[in-house]
Amino acid sequence: MTTDKIELRLSDVDPPASEPKRTIYRDIVNLPDPVKLGLTIRYFNFDDVGLYMQITGSGTGYTFGTVNLGLLASGTDAYINLDEFASRAKPTVAQLPNGEMEENITLTLKAYTDSGYTTLKWTFERVVTVHWINSADATWTVDVLNNFDDGTVQGWATVNELNAAPTLQVSTDYVLSVPYSLRMDLGGGFGVVQNRARIYKSFATPNKDKVYAIIDIRNSASALAGYTWANVVYVRKNSDVLIQIGKTVAGDNTHHYMSFNKWIRLVVPLPKNVTIEIQIAYEVCTQNPGTKSLWLDDFRIISK
């Protein structure tokens, strides 16, 4: 068992197992300046008393917020989405001379004995690697581009995973490259239930040492009455989860566990020279039927 009295994780791996190395992959192309960083974190209290938890961070060139997380009972853990938790100037092309660059940031979890956050009892630090790429650099080859601008779904399909009745179409309401994006509407949903569905497509990856998928998504929802809360997005390689943003908490009708109503860029490394299915699954907690959608645009696979 861990000897730390508090702990911070970015995965679903439970203590006492070691936290896997955490690397956040980011592509600078078409990002705003400054760029923002959001995280879903999981934090633990192994002390025998309740503690008031706080999260901040540090890193060269970064500006981090400080978020008071409130009281966490002894022996429990919690998840929270830290939307736009940090920012930094967008890396320049010159800073990525071969189309890549790595840096480290440190996330610092603090535990206080009082609600005023004045009496510090424990501190825990987690180092996270940020791996930047410039997908427009000449060293990269664009092997796949799905921008849906021909008015078709370009081979993507959808399927229900939990209490959903998904449909798939091209859409003009939210796009990154005009005129179309891909939109999945979840459908379904009566009573307090989870709705989850996925879009998916198979790809043959190139036989090169470095292969990445660059995935730009947007999620939204509006219930006819009551509420709809964004729980989680999974990006999978076949059935293996590559990225999880947010958390499934069945019946939780109190808050979002992931960013909402904005475009989110996800970058994931892929194995070379194999045929794989890329799956993007979206889950909400909903009280009533309404519009619950996931958009995808400018999906790319690049390699070198």
Homologous superfamily in CATH for domain 6-133: Immunoglobulins (2.60.40.10)
Cα–Cα distance measured from residue 285 to residue 288, given in angstroms and rounded to the nearest whole number: 10
**Distances, alpha carbon 133 to alpha carbons 159, 171, 236, 264, in Å:** 32, 29, 21, 16
Instruction: Give the residues across from 295 on adjacent strands.
Output: 183, 218
Cα–Cα distance measured from residue 53 to residue 6, given in angstroms and rounded to the nearest whole number: 9
Residues 6+ apart with CB under 8 A from 73: 45, 50
What is 141-303's CATH number, 3.40.30.10, 2.60.120.260, 1.10.150.300, 3.40.50.300? 2.60.120.260
Q: 74: closest CA among 44, 33, 43?
A: 44
- Map residue 116 onto helix, strand or coil: coil
Structure tokens of 143? 């092997």
Is 279 a residue whose pLDDT tops 90? yes
In degrees, rounded to 5, the angle at the alpha carbon of residue 88 between the alpha carbons of residues 37 and 123 is 65
| Start-to-end CA span in the chain (Å) | 42
Q: 129: closest CA among 54, 225, 234, 21?
A: 21
Q: What is the pLDDT of residues 183-220, one digit of tens each?
A: 999 987 666 678 899 999 999 999 999 999 999 999 98
Is 158 a residue whose pLDDT tops 60? yes
- Amino acid (1-letter code) at residue 219: N
**Distances, alpha carbon 91 to alpha carbons 84, 95, 107, 215, in Å:** 17, 6, 20, 19
Q: Tell me which of 75 and 251 has the higher pLDDT.
A: 75
What average pLDDT does the structure give for the chain? 92
Domain with CATH 2.60.40.10 in the chain: 6-133
Q: What is the pLDDT of residues 39-61, one digit of tens each?
A: 889 999 999 999 999 999 999 99
| Residue written as token pair 């929270």 | 80
Q: 79: closest CA among 45, 41, 31, 114?
A: 41
Domain with CATH 2.60.120.260 in the chain: 141-303
| Residue written as token pair 């909402």 | 260
Instruction: Give the residues across from 71 on adjacent strands.
Output: 52
- Map residue 196 onto helix, strand or coil: strand
Structure tokens of 68? 């008071």
Is 1 a residue whose pLDDT tops 50? no
Q: How does strand 77-88 pair with strand 35-45?
A: antiparallel
Contact 281, 236 (CB under 8 A): yes
Question: Among positive and negative, which fits the CA dihedral 200, 244, 231, 261?
Answer: negative
What pTM, to 2 d.p., does this model score?
0.92
Q: What percent of the chain has pLDDT over 70?
A: 93
